[in-house]
A and B are shown apart, each in its own frame.
Chain A
């Protein structure tokens, strides 16, 4: 498809633009212009300011780089983990597959919020915002895989029983060789999972802020900016609160276009 290279270019341009916005002289994502909280767009603040008078454009740019990298990496890890566990459980003997899927189900039903609280209490309170961000995305990746692993397991199971697999076995292909053909067939299941995980993790990171995890102030968090949308008082004050979500949608669409392999 012709769309794919142009989407890749656009994505690169967006990231570059964000880097330029951040690197431009005088740009600070944390400086509070206290005379102008929630200001409208001006030459000084092209996208206005947030509730504390910080430049919205710079914050969005920084959040784009930070959250996008974090969420994409976490989504990739969790999708790969799900693929690994799911295919292993499907193709391994039942003595491994059965407990693996049982564990998966147990994992899905446990109240993880309390584990996150424990993680927070194990970290020192003065953990820097950047470290806290890294830990948060790591935790998200570690907790995100079971739901997808189950879907992969089912997909892999039906592949295992499919006609071409029978052919492959009959033709004398060994287990390791077969796996090589299985993974590409799981992509229709894995790719959407990956694409869904990216925005979910961006938002989940912000929700973890309530537990003392997440990206701490003054570092900007994309999820935090999205959460501004759930306060109707804020929505009526400035239209610029919609800017981060619009940009997120654009980036996700581009990601999607890049990820299209058909």
Chain B
């Protein structure tokens, strides 16, 4: 397959995913209970304003094709539609937050990988690594993200990056530890070690290349985990990012904002799945 065809195929796949996600999300949000109701209906002071807005929305959302075409024309206009909750273009809400969340994700994934890789390298080497090395990772997995964030607040130290990174590192460690251990115990690696090859050389020449394909799988898994952890972390630490926005949009059934966020998520998923099978630098040692 030529490079051009591969790019075309990738583009086609991405567009298909984004469109399917768009249609699926619209159906899910529109038909979930509470789309045409508002907490303010319960408050006598604000009920009339809420009713007026709701009847407008009811008229707008009567048919699904109509809703979808409205969304797509919003995207074509470049503002991704108008937020139902705030009445401003969605792009104005999303863009400043995109950088915040992107930075947070990038920093925490990098930190998590460094932590997980170094920890698993340390714990898998040796003849019979102690199972107690698993304890810190298990501990981190057993504590809900929200609780971890609260504990950070209580201790007055650590921030969103730390919580995200620890959570991701714990998961990545579980995978890496096992993958590395399997590779470490491979017959040819055992033989190499028996012949006196230094640990560093064994790692570079045999162990890391053996787990490389799983690293790619791990990358997409890390992105998935990070995307699901971002909401509680941002909400508790009050980070003005996409997770916080998505949460509020979900609670307010703000479809245009939700669609924009899910589409960004879909892109992240696609890009996360795109990592190469085998990093080229490990091919020749």
Contacts and interface: CB of A to CB of B under 8 A. Distances in A.
In the complex, is A directly touching B at CB under 8 Å?
yes
Nearest to B180: A188
A125 interface: no
B138 A253 contact: yes
A170 interface: no
B185 interface: yes
Interface string A13-35: 00000000000000000000000
A102 B13 contact: yes
Bin the interface of chain A by size: 35 or more
A262 B21 contact: no
A106 interface: yes
A235 interface: yes
Interface residues of B, number: 58
A45 interface: no
Nearest to A200: B141
A155 B174 contact: no
Contact of A256 (B138, B144, B218, B224): B138
B269 interface: yes
Contacts of B13: 102
A109 B273 contact: no
Contacts of A248: 142
B182 A226 contact: no
Interface string B137-163: 011011110110111011000000000
B28 A227 contact: no
Interface string B1-29: 00000000000010011001100110011
Question: DSSP majority for the B interface?
Answer: helix
Contact of A227 (B24, B144, B175, B218): B144
B31 to A, nearest CB: 7
B125 to A, nearest CB: 15
Nearest to B135: A253
B230 interface: no
Interface stretch (A47-55, A111-119, A131-139, A171-179): A111-119
B29 A111 contact: yes
A260 interface: yes
Contact of A158 (B154, B185, B213): B213
A229 B150 contact: yes
Interface centre among A112, A113, A154, A189 (most CB of B within 10 A): A154
10 contacts: A108-B224, A109-B265, A113-B250, A147-B220, A152-B217, A157-B277, A229-B151, A245-B143, A253-B134, A256-B138
Interface of A: 3, 101-102, 105-106, 108-115, 117-118, 120-121, 147-148, 150-155, 157-158, 188-189, 191-192, 195-196, 199-200, 203, 206, 223, 226-227, 229-232, 235, 245, 248-249, 252-253, 256-257, 260, 262
Given A118-B28, A256-B134, A262-B185, 7 more contacts: A121-B33, A188-B179, A192-B178, A195-B174, A227-B144, A245-B143, A249-B139
The 10 closest A-B pairs by CB, nearest first: A229-B147, A109-B266, A114-B32, A158-B213, A151-B217, A154-B217, A192-B174, A114-B28, A230-B146, A147-B224
